[in-house]
Structure 1
């Protein structure tokens, strides 16, 4: 795959995961308003985006064909661990936007900015530590 195709595919998947994240957040916030809803929304949204992004990245970015529950569990655990730092970037940007403006539009803008920076960092970590040589197309 060409570097341009890889970047476009990765960006598209990041976009899909972002939409899944924000949709999950909206669902939670629709049922639980205020600060408790916000905290739960961030956690649920992060989980939804994480699972979708892992599945897409594993198959279509890193072309990882490995199988079996132990292998998937190990890789998903590593993928999740690599996401801890990048999730902190995302949460900090989203929370800062919420605290400053206290509107859902700006909260989502902060989330998108944080996720964008986080995904760039995450690709590099996943390529090196989670999927190893299988992901080295660039």
Structure 2
């Protein structure tokens, strides 16, 4: 019984940490979009802001995940680059979810606030799926936990 309870606590702790880190990456993503739009309003501004937010969130999430979730240490910069590339490739599907929600909310509601809400919903769903992909294909396959 103690082993089951102990295992459950470990899983809950990991879930709480992952949720916190996902929230930080989400804030980074939305903030980067908002900052981008405060500087540039012109052709393709929404798309470019979402792209900038995606890049900022991706980099932060990779750094946080590899350290605090998967406790991964690369052998060298080349190894880290390969792992980041694989991490990014696993994110293509989840990015499609995120972008789908954000752009749909933008088209339906036509406000930045609702577009950001769509982005937050899409990121939450995407991060849930991304954890499973990263655990199975990125960090396990590259020597992580």
Asked whether the two chains share a fold, i.e. TM above 0.5, the reply is yes
Task: Please tell me whether Structure 1 or Structure 2 has the larger radius of gyration of its CA atoms.
Answer: 2
- Once superposed, what is the RMSD of the aligned Cα atoms? 1.3
Using a 3 Å threshold, how does the CA distance of structure 1 residues 34 and 95 change in structure 2: closer, same or farther? farther
Task: Kindly state the Cα deviation for residue 69 of structure 1 after the two structures are TM-superposed.
Answer: 1.1
Q: 2:105 is matched with which residue: 90, 97, 108?
A: 97
Partner residue of 1:29? 37
Q: 2:65 is matched with which residue: 38, 46, 57?
A: 57
Please, what TM-score do these two structures have when normalized by structure 2?
0.89
1:70 aligns with 2:83: no
Task: Kindly state the Cα deviation for residue 34 of structure 1 after the two structures are TM-superposed.
Answer: 5.3
Unaligned 5+ runs, structure 1:
none
Deviates more, 1:47-56 or 1:30-39: 30-39
Total equivalences in the alignment: 135
Q: 2:144 is matched with which residue: 130, 134, 138?
A: 134
Unaligned 5+ runs, structure 2:
1-8
Task: Kindly state the Cα deviation for residue 27 of structure 1 after the two structures are TM-superposed.
Answer: 0.8
Using a 3 Å threshold, how does the CA distance of structure 1 residues 5 and 35 change in structure 2: closer, same or farther? farther
Please, what TM-score do these two structures have when normalized by structure 1?
0.93
- Counterparts of 1:131 and 1:81 in 2: how far apart (Å)? 13
